């Protein structure tokens, strides 16, 4: 399979994400500049962390208008996997590919530390390698990660199993301790924590590996099925 990592002006976890994919899956990864208009050759697309356009105005507010985000919208509609990490999650909510918004942390500070997450869904293409209810260690690094949505939306997310990860102890005041949510079709995941920073021993946790491996496995199975049917 082939991955794209979209690079916006101000992205800064693009290389980290690409490196994590290579390390955990051995797949090919391209870094794609935000003016790309066609991403159809990729099986999975990552919107990486960072400060696209300086996070001025609102995080993700300006990046959302990039041609690449239009292309992502198309591929998401076609069922491709889209993973938004941190700033990528913010871009996804700003562009309404995911519901809600990410607001300033309730304590007003940027916060970078290892946090404990609870896996709330282990049937999605992103989470199938985890156990339901499993506690995993993944670092966060954000100033605007407080997930907000109106109560009906949150209830709907909960009912449909679209909350992928919750914080064991919320570091930012997110409603329902939400750390990551799935899009309606289950093929888009936005999450504030950084799985690409939990890949090898010396990082302090390797719990992020299985997220990329889940995606790899899901896509490879689909590709194998497609070949078998052809």
Partner 1 sequence: MKTFDVEVRVWLKPSVFDPQGHAVEQALHTLGFDGAQNVRIGKYMHLTVTGETEAEARKSVEQMCERVLSNPVMETYAYELKETVV
Partner 2 sequence: MREPTPEQIRDERVYRSLGLTDAEYELVVEKLGRLPNYVEAGIFGVLWSEHCSYKSSKVHLRRFPTSGPQVLQGPGENAGVVDIGDGMAVAFKMESHNHPSAVEPYQGAATGVGGILRDIFTMGARPVAFLDSLRFGPLDDGRTRYLFSEVVAGIGGYGNCVGIPTVGGEVQFSPTYRGNPLVNAMCVGILPADGIVRGTATGVGNPVFVVGARTGRDGIHGATFASAEDPEEKERSAVQVGDPFLGKLLMEACLELIASGAVVGIQDMGAAGLTSSSAEMASRAGGGLEMILDRVPVREEGMTPYEMMLSESQERMLVVLERGREHVAFAIFQRYGLEVADIGRVTDDGRLRLIWHGEVVADMPVAALVDEAPVYERPIALPSEPERVDIPASLPAREAWLAVLSHPSVADKRFVYRQYDTMVRAQTVMGPGSDAALVKVPGMDKAIAMATDGNSRYVALNPRRGGQIAVAEAVRNLATAGAKPLAITNCLNFGNPEKPEIMRQLSDAIDGMAEACKALDTPVVSGNVSLYNESRGVDIQPTPVVGAIGVIDGIAKRLQSAPTRERAAAGLDLWLLGREDDSLEGTLYGELVCGRPVGDAPYIDLAEERRLHDLLQAIAGTRAAAAAHDVTEGGVAAAVAEMMIQCGAGGEIDIPAGMSQLGWLFSEAQGRAVVAVLPEGAEDLARLAAAFAVPLRKLGRLVASEKVAVRQAGDMVVEIPLAALRDAYEHAIPMALRAGTAGASA
111 binds partner 2 (CB under 8 A): yes
Contact 220, 39 (CB under 8 A): no
- Please select the residue that binds partner 2; options are 60, 100, 125, 143, rule is CB under 8 A: 143
Q: Which is nearer to partner 1, 68 or 211 (CB)?
A: 68
- Please select the residue that binds partner 2; options are 199, 211, 215, 219, rule is CB under 8 A: 199
134 is catalytic: no
Q: Of 75, 94, 142, 194, which one is the catalytic site residue?
A: 194
**What is each CA distance from 128 to 31, 47, 88, 124, 186, in whole angstroms?**
26, 20, 21, 6, 12
Q: Where do we find the tokens 């790899």?
A: 216
194 is catalytic: yes
- Beta carbon of residue 93, minimum distance to partner 1 (angstroms, whole number): 8
| DSSP-derived secondary structure for 15-82 | HHHHHHHHHHH--EEEEEETT----TT-SEEEE--B-GGGG-SSTTTTGGGSHHHHHHHHHHHTT-EE
- Beta carbon of residue 108, minimum distance to partner 1 (angstroms, whole number): 5
With CB under 8 A as the contact rule, which of the stretches 67-75, 104-112, 116-124, 175-183 interacts with partner 2?
104-112
Which residue intervals of the chain are DSSP H helices? 14-25, 67-77, 87-94, 151-159, 209-229
196 is catalytic: yes
- Beta carbon of residue 59, minimum distance to partner 2 (angstroms, whole number): 11
Q: Which is nearer to partner 2, 2 or 107 (CB)?
A: 107
Contact 61, 94 (CB under 8 A): yes
Contact 100, 90 (CB under 8 A): no
65 binds partner 2 (CB under 8 A): no
Instruction: Provide the binding-site residues for partner 2, judged by CB under 8 A.
Output: 9-13, 15-16, 19-20, 49-51, 53-56, 109-113, 139, 141, 143, 194, 196-197, 199, 202-203
* Catalytic center residues: 86, 194, 196
């Amino acid at each position: 399979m082939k991955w794209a990592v979209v690079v916006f002006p101000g992205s800064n976890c693009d290389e980290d994400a690409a490196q994590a994919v290579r390390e955990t899956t051995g797949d090919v990864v391209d870094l794609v500049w935000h003016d790309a208009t066609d991403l159809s050759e990729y099986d999975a697309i990552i919107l990486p962390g960072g400060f696209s356009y300086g996070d001025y105005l609102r995080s993700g507010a300006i990046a959302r208008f990039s041609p690449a985000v239009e292309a992502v919208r198309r591929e998401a509609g076609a069922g491709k996997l889209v993973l938004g990490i941190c700033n990528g999650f913010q871009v996804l909510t700003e562009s309404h590919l995911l519901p809600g918004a990410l607001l300033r942390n309730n304590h007003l500070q940027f916060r970078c530390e290892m946090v404990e997450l609870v896996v709330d869904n282990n049937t999605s293409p992103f989470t199938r390698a985890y156990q339901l209810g499993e506690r995993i260690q993944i670092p966060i690094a954000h100033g605007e990660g407080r997930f907000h949505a109106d109560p009906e939306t949150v209830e709907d997310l909960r009912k449909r199993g679209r909350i992928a990860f919750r914080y064991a102890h919320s570091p930012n005041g997110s409603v329902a301790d939400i750390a990551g949510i799935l899009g309606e079709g289950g093929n888009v995941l936005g999450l504030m924590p950084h799985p690409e920073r939990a890949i090898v021993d010396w990082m302090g946790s390797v719990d992020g590996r299985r997220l990329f491996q889940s995606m790899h496995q899901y896509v490879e199975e689909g590709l194998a099925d497609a070949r078998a049917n052809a």
